[in-house]
Amino acid sequence: EAGVAQSPRYKIIEKRQSVAFWCNPISGHATLYWYQQILGQGPKLLIQFQNNGVVDDSQLPKDRFSAERLKGVDSTLKIQPAKLEDSAVYLCASSLPGQLGNIQYFGAGTRLSVL
């Protein structure tokens, strides 16, 4: 079974530039999550989708971050404009919905460096 796919694996940009990340969840997984993991920290939830609707985006810095999952499958996360403190690994995860979603499967992540 294919896992969660993310691209690109690495991205280096200068501050104030824009960047977008892409995620394709495991087939059949209605719930999709974006996490930010700063070096030395655990992953922090940015946004959670159930199909194409947002369930929780309380920790998403909405002045610069946006995410969408238009058709309820793939998702993109965008940062515009980027700041130095956005340097982190951006992890996408997917799960079955509700209580079945106790197990989340993570993609390999996109490592972002903002210079």
Which spans of this chain sit near another protein (rule: CB under 8 A)?
A: 31, 33, 40-45, 48, 50, 55-56, 91, 95, 97-99, 101-104, 106-109
- Taking the complex as a whole, the smallest distance from the CB of residue 102 to another protein amounts, in Å, to 6
Q: Half-sphere exposure of residue 101, counting CA atoms within 13 Å on the CB side?
A: 17
64: phi then psi, degrees, rounded to nearest 5? -135, -20
- Taking the complex as a whole, the smallest distance from the CB of residue 14 to another protein amounts, in Å, to 23
Report the residue number, 73 or 96, with the smaller CB distance to another protein: 96
Contact 89, 110 (CB under 8 A): yes
- Cα–Cα distance measured from residue 84 to residue 69, given in angstroms and rounded to the nearest whole number: 26
- Taking the complex as a whole, the smallest distance from the CB of residue 16 to another protein amounts, in Å, to 27
